[in-house]
Amino acid sequence: MKPKTLLALLTVLAAAGALVLTAQNANFNGVIKEGEQLKLAVPDFRGSGGADKFMQVFNDTLWNELDNGGVVKLVGKSLYPLNIPQRPEDFTSGSAKLTDWSQPPVEANDLAFGYTAEQNGQFLLLGNLYNVGQPSPAQASLFAKRYASTLDENGARDVARQYAADILAQFGAKSLAGTKIFFVSDRSVPARRLPDGTTVGVKEIWEMEYDGSNQRQLTFYKSLSSQPAVSPDGKMFAFTSYPQKVEGSYVVDGNPIIMIHSLDPDRRLNFYNPVSSIVATPEFTPDGKHVLFATKIGAEKDPKIYMSNLQGGELMQLSHANAVEVEPKVNPKTGTEVVFISGRTGHPQLWEMNIDGSGAHMLTDGTGEVANPCWRPDGQYVAFSWTRGFTYGQYNIFIMDMVSGKWDQLTHDTGDNENPSWAPDGLHLAFSSKRNRVTQIFTMLANGTHVQQLTTKGNNLEPVWTKGIN
C-alpha cells in the first residue's frame, strides 16, 4: 500500500475538518551550515602507465565524493594555478608554493594532491592532504597515504572513494562507502492485466549502493511488494506483500501480510500475520528484537499501531484512537519515542508517542497532509513529506528539529517528493520524486542542495538508507 493509498484511506475514514494551528516554521540553518564549510582545492590527478586510461573515472569519483560529502566547499578548478603539485617534494623544491593555494584567487584552506601509477598490475595512488594556511610544508601535511586496488575502472573508483573517505574524516564526516539503499521498483515485471480489463501492479524490493551502483533485485514474488524496512544490523529486511491467489480463472493479489527476509543467509523467515485487509508499514526497533506495524484486528474500523516480536507473537496494541494510524518509526537513538501518522484531527498529521503508547501529541500544525516520517540517526531531526501550502497529492520534503519543533522545507517546485530516508552520516537524505510521469530515487544534502538522481529504469520509490550488514 503506497503512502498515497494510506492517505486516501485516512481521507475517507477519518472525520472531516482540520485543526489549524499557528505555523511553527522559522528560518534556521537546519543541519548543513554552508557558510562554515572549509574550502578545499582538488586539482585533477595524473596517472602513469596503465593507470592513465582510468584517470577520468578516478578524478570524477574523487570530486563527486568530496562535493557530496557535505562538510567542505570545493574551489572551482578554473581558479587553480598552472603549476599543480604531485608530490610533497614539489613544495620543498620551490616549484610549488602553499601561498599559490591559500591566497587569491584560490583562497583554499586545504589542498588534496598526489598522483597514480600502475604498480605490480595494480592501480596505485599516493594521496596527500595539506592545510595550505600553514607556514611550511612540514606543518601543512595532514596525511600522506598509499592506496591500491585492481587496475580497472572499479579499482580507480575504489581508490578514489578510500582517499575521499580519509579526507572527509579529517573534517569530521563519516564515509558512506558500504552503506546500502533498499527500494521498491516495478522495472522487472510489467503490470498484470486481468480478464476484466483491470491491471495489477507488480513491484519488488531492490538494493543498491549509496551512489546508485550495483542495483540488484532481492525479492521475486511477481506481486506487489512495498514499504521496506531494514533491521539495525542490516541482516534482515521486512516489507508488506500481497501474496497471489487464484480466483476463478485468474490470479489476483490476496490480503496483505508482512514478510521478513534474512540477508545472511538469504531466506524468508517465519512471521505470523493477523488476517486483515490492512497489514502495513513495518518498522524494526533499534535493538532489532521487535517489529512495529499498522493493522486492524477484529471489529476495528481503522488500522492501529501494534508491536510484536520477530515471529509476529507477543502482539501488543500501542495506539487506540478512533482514527487511521500508520507508519510508526522508532527513535534510533533512544528506542523510547515513536513518530507516526495519525488522522485524529481529520487530516493525516505527524504525531509522537512513547513506545508504550502513552503521551501522544501532534507535531505538525494540522494543515495539509503528512506522510513518511523518518528519524535522523542521532534522534535530533525527523524528515517527512508534507503537502502544506499545496493541493492534495503534491508533497515536498521537510525536516523538523525535535527539540524546538521548528521545521524547514528542503524541496521546492520539483514535482511530487516523498519517502525521505536519512543516510547513516546524518548529512544526506534519499527520497523519491515523481518528475516527467515517472518516479525515481534521488539523494541530497539535508539542506536541499547537491541533488543526485540514482535510478532511471522503471518507477522506483520508498528508499531506505542503511549502514549495510554490520
Compute mean pLDDT per 10 residues along the chain, 470 residues long, and list them: 39 30 37 70 97 97 92 94 95 92 97 97 98 96 98 96 95 89 90 65 93 94 94 96 68 81 92 94 97 93 96 96 96 98 95 97 95 97 90 85 96 93 96 94 94 96 91
Amino acid identity of 463? P
pLDDT at 429: 98
CA 271 to chain centre: 26
How many CB atoms are closer than 10 A to CB 391?
A: 7
Is residue 310 within 8 A of residue 269, CB to CB? The reply is: yes
Helix runs in 78-151, H state only: 89-92, 99-102, 137-140
CA-based max dimension of the chain: 85
Q: How far apart are CA 345 and CA 363, in angstroms?
A: 12
Q: Are strands 279-284 and 290-295 parallel, antiparallel or unpaired?
A: antiparallel
pLDDT at 250: 52
How large is the C-alpha radius of gyration of the chain? 25
pLDDT at 34: 52
Match 573517505 to its residue by C-alpha cell: 165
How many CB atoms are closer than 10 A to CB 248?
A: 7
Enumerate domains of the chain plus CATH numbers.
3-30+177-466 (2.120.10.30), 34-170 (3.40.50.10070)
Q: How far apart are CA 455 and CA 20, in angstroms?
A: 38
